[in-house]
Chains A and B, each alone.
Chain A
Amino acid sequence: MSNSDLIVGLEIGTSKICVVVGETRPDGTLRILGVGQAPSRGVRKGEIVDFETAMKCVHEAVVDAEQKSDVMIRSVYVAVAGGHIQSFNNRGCVILPEERDEIDDQDVEDVKINAREVSIPAQNAFLHSIIQHYHVDGQDGVLNPVGMLGGKLEADFHIIHGVRTRIQNTIRCVKELPLEVEDVVFSALASAQVVLTQHQKNLGALVVDIGGGTTDYILYVDGAVKQSGALAIGGDHMTNDISMGLRIPMARAEKLKTEEGSCVLGNCLPGETILLKDDSGFAGKEIERETLNTIIHLRLRETFELLKRTVEEEPFINYVGAGIFITGGCSLVNGIDHLAGEIFEMPAHVTHAQTLSGLTSAVENPQFSTAIGLLRYAQAVQVDRPRRGITRIFGRFFSGMR
């Protein structure tokens, strides 16, 4: 196995840090070799707040992954999340010189640069420029303009950007270990790579990745990314709500949420209670099930409603045909698909990474969607351009960031 076939995805989440090791096969399939994880500390709402602690946790997770997959990890793809991440759509334009009318690679690169010549806040840096469609002399829907004849090349890009220093923090945390950072990927974009099939992307789909600290979303219409972003609300908030509402410690609330919680109201007996037991089995407090569910329901409903208002600022949600795909740790809450379906008025599914071989138990856990998605993203980028290309893009994206 040559080292270049090895891809490692690292997600520094709010509740856990997860490292997925995979290898690409010559036939283009991806195989998961091992998954390492460690509980996360020093991370709030998807951003590192305690550098030293977070670094230790990342180290733990990486060591765990190395042991489980029996490989040396040298470089990783890192997912970033956080409420600071924003996006917009922009069109770039290039006029071909008089003496030439065939579009070449350089023109495509130029139009991309042109599309990024927009003002974003000074402290922000570009994370992704994702091509939607090209237009050649006003002709719509061109997918690959190279080799076509025309005088004017335009391109629609979806541009994702975030606060430079915060992205740098994540990168630095990994670099100090020391590991090389191959690329930094917005987490919802990574998740979408494995959660959605190409067909679903074409039909139009909204991927909602509800993790511990953030809720990231990405919306595909006609196979192209149209909208994306992040809300700094996640499972942690739910746990916090439960802890405050029922007056129980956070650890207890977390356990209660994962083991008993549901966001469906009116589905339990009136007065039905859950007996909280501590580690020694001593029966402590009694908690009314409906109360617990109400707290979870209210938080999730609010999150979804906020998300709906956010995506409805642009018209693309109306063209979503395949529905909503919920993934991430919080998608394990009972009944979340019904709630999402009710609010967005379209079919909602809880999904996990699809069509991968190897450790299927890991694949089928929605908690790992992002980390596995990183592998697929990396694979796609590598196939697109050989290694040299990646460093080039990377160098361009993050020049001055290291």
Chain B
Amino acid sequence: MIQLSKNYSLPERQEEPIPIKVVGVGSAGSNALDRVLLDGMDKADLIAINTDVQSLASSVAARKVQLGRSSTHGLGTGGDPELGYQAAIESAEEIRQAIAGARMIFICAGLGGGTGSGAAPIVAQLAREAGSLVIAFATLPFSFEGKRRAAQAQDALSRLNEIANAVICFENDRMGDMVAPKAGIHQAFGIADMTISQSVRSIVNLIQRPGLIRIGFDDLFAALRSQNGRCLFGFGESDTDNRAHDALTQALKNPLMDKGRMLSEAAHVLVQVAGGPGMTLSEVEILMRELGRHVRDHTQIVFGTAVDGKMGNRLSVTIISSLASEDSIAAQDTSPPPAFLEQVEEPPPAPPTIDIVHESESAASLEPAPDDLIAAEAPPPPVPAPSIKKPAPRLIPPKKKPVVEKEAKPPKEKIVQAKQEVLQFEPVTRGRFEKSEPTIVEGQDLDIPTFLRKNIRVK
């Protein structure tokens, strides 16, 4: 059966890749972009945008846009976001041309400086106006770079949050944890670039790669949807004997995951497992079971899997999620999981849910690939829009089915478990001390395991 579905879905997807552009804004952005290119990216166009001609010239991106020819005269902005903003406004037309025709735009920018903080929101705005989906990858400066820069970065981040469909935020301070204390500073910055590159590439792959259980824009946005939340991202790849376990461990070690601890607070987790033709069902099963231990029982796991001949012996895991702020978690918990049909039937009750509908809806409109016209219409979605969406689920039934099942089961089990009293069937024994003289102190036989005496469940 697997063989069959692979046969009919594989060629279909490969013929029509979704047009994606990756834009690097500012020096940090173009550094990240260079890294993306050097790591290998053939499924998207890369564009470098900067005020500084020197930095732009050294970039390896195929297309380059110089900002503010007359306002900065080819120099940098000197860390002034206002200047970066002016320059971007001045060159708006050029930017518009460069990003035209993309269905999805990734913006990489280092916030805190002039060009990144000033121009990135404008680029995002122009991209949204052109009808593209925008995902921003923003780095926040190291704390030692000063409070001023941190404030500028926060300012730009909140603007990006308003404009972009999703913002994945990397804190440079966290990258520091990944670098050995003795490593040079360039390595610390390099790690940040590498992490961004990894995220960009894996998201592009996620969307472009033909999938058995495909992950689409809608799933991606469900996972990233959170207002001012933190994005969690993890990527792991392995080709060892125990590759399922190793890849997951590696993915969880990503600094954005905080060793996987953060996952336990996420409401939605998107997981894609990709591998060569040799990937087995049991491997995926092991991996998902292991991942299941890291998330809460009512967390919605959006699962996708893809077989890619280029992967060879390797198996990769991509985990994307976001931590919503407290109130939105509550809202999501009470409302049913935002599967397509349910959203259509139910009028959105609270402001956050309107956001949800808006985003996943615009994402979904892009989902049916053959028609580009719908994409152009999508961005201004009025409230009655959901009714138009009814045909959408019909297009992708094989993908949605397993997901819905997954969502539905865990919460039920959890409720039952929580109410059931656990009976201690184990007789109190003393194990190897059975025949020795008991050690009785303060009325307790200390030979009996502490956890039994204190009634602490260890499993």
Interface residues, chain A, CB within 8 Å of chain B?
Answer: 44-45, 49, 83, 231-233, 236-237, 239-241, 243-245, 250, 269-271, 273, 288, 291, 294-295, 298-299, 301-302, 306
Across the interface, name the chain B residue whose C-beta is closest to A236.
Answer: B432
A250 touches B432 (CB 8 A): yes
Q: Which residues of A lie under 8 Å from residue B264 when comparing CB positions?
A: 270
B147 interface residue per 8 A CB criterion: no
A271 touches B433 (CB 8 A): no
Across the interface, name the chain B residue whose C-beta is closest to A44.
Answer: B436
B259 touches A269 (CB 8 A): yes
B184 interface residue per 8 A CB criterion: no
B429 touches A244 (CB 8 A): yes
Contact with A along B226-270 (1 / 0, CB 8 A): 000000000000000000000001001000000111011000000
Shortest Cβ distance from residue A55 to the other chain B in the assembled complex, whole angstroms = 19
Shortest Cβ distance from residue A300 to the other chain B in the assembled complex, whole angstroms = 9
B454 interface residue per 8 A CB criterion: yes
Q: A113 to B450, alpha carbons, bound, how many Å?
A: 43
Q: A282 to B68, alpha carbons, bound, how many Å?
A: 65
Q: Which residues of A lie under 8 Å from residue B436 when comparing CB positions?
A: 44-45, 49
Q: Which residues of B lie under 8 Å from residue A245 when comparing CB positions?
A: 449, 451, 458-459
A244 touches B439 (CB 8 A): no
B429 touches A233 (CB 8 A): no
Q: Which residues of A lie under 8 Å from residue B384 when comparing CB positions?
A: none
Given contacts A237-B446, A240-B447, A232 and B260 within 8 Å (CB-CB): no
Q: A291 to B264, alpha carbons, bound, how many Å?
A: 18
A271 touches B450 (CB 8 A): no
Among the listed B263, B294, B433, B450, which residue makes an inter-chain contact with A299, where contact means beta carbons less than 8 Å apart?
Answer: B450
Shortest Cβ distance from residue A46 to the other chain B in the assembled complex, whole angstroms = 11
Across the interface, name the chain A residue whose C-beta is closest to B292.
Answer: A271
Interface residues, chain B, CB within 8 Å of chain A?
Answer: 249, 252, 259-261, 263-264, 290-294, 429-433, 435-437, 439, 441-442, 446-447, 449-452, 454, 456, 458-459
Closest 6 CB pairs of A and B: A271-B293, A241-B449, A232-B439, A240-B431, A298-B450, A44-B436
Shortest Cβ distance from residue A52 to the other chain B in the assembled complex, whole angstroms = 16
B294 touches A241 (CB 8 A): no
Q: Which residues of A lie under 8 Å from residue B450 when comparing CB positions?
A: 241, 295, 298-299, 301-302
Among the listed A243, A270, A306, which residue makes an inter-chain contact with B294, where contact means beta carbons less than 8 Å apart?
Answer: A270
Across the interface, name the chain A residue whose C-beta is closest to B456.
Answer: A298
Q: A271 to B252, alpha carbons, bound, how many Å?
A: 11
Q: List 11 A-B contacts (CB under 8 A).
A: A44-B433, A231-B439, A237-B449, A239-B432, A244-B431, A244-B449, A245-B459, A269-B249, A269-B294, A271-B260, A298-B454
A237 touches B451 (CB 8 A): no
Given contacts A298-B454, A299-B449, A270 and B293 within 8 Å (CB-CB): yes
A240 touches B456 (CB 8 A): no
A240 touches B432 (CB 8 A): yes
Shortest Cβ distance from residue B65 to the other chain A in the assembled complex, whole angstroms = 43
The listed residue with most B CB atoms (<10 A of its CB), out of A83, A240, A299, A301, is A240
B451 touches A295 (CB 8 A): yes
A294 touches B439 (CB 8 A): no
B458 touches A237 (CB 8 A): no
B431 touches A294 (CB 8 A): no
Q: A236 to B294, alpha carbons, bound, how many Å?
A: 32
Q: Which residues of A lie under 8 Å from residue B454 when comparing CB positions?
A: 298
Q: Which residues of B lie under 8 Å from residue A241 when comparing CB positions?
A: 449-451
Q: A398 to B433, alpha carbons, bound, how many Å?
A: 31
Q: Which residues of A lie under 8 Å from residue B433 when comparing CB positions?
A: 44-45, 236-237, 240
Shortest Cβ distance from residue B149 to the other chain A in the assembled complex, whole angstroms = 33
B260 touches A270 (CB 8 A): yes
Q: Which residues of A lie under 8 Å from residue B447 when comparing CB positions?
A: 237, 240
The listed residue with most A CB atoms (<10 A of its CB), out of B249, B429, B449, is B449
B449 touches A295 (CB 8 A): yes
The listed residue with most A CB atoms (<10 A of its CB), out of B291, B432, B450, is B450
